[in-house]
Amino acid sequence: MAVLRYTLLRALVFAIAVALLWLVGFRGLVLVALGLVLSGLVSFFVLRGSRDQVSIAWDRRLRTIRDRTAAEDAWDDEQRARSDAETNRPEGPPREA
Q: Residue 51 falls within a domain, yes or no?
A: yes
Backbone angles phi and psi of 25, in degrees to 5: 125, 5
Residue 95: inside a domain, yes or no? no
Question: ∠ at Cα 68 (63, 73), nearest 5°?
Answer: 125
Q: 10: domain range?
A: 2-84
Residue 94 lies in a domain: no
* Residue 91 maps to a domain: no
Q: Is residue 93 part of a domain?
A: no
pLDDT tens digit string along 33-75?
999 999 999 999 999 999 999 999 999 999 999 999 999 999 9
This prediction's pTM: 0.68
Is residue 37 situated within a structural domain?
yes
Domain for residue 64, yes or no?
yes
Q: What is the CA radius of gyration of the chain?
A: 29
Overall domain count for the chain? 1
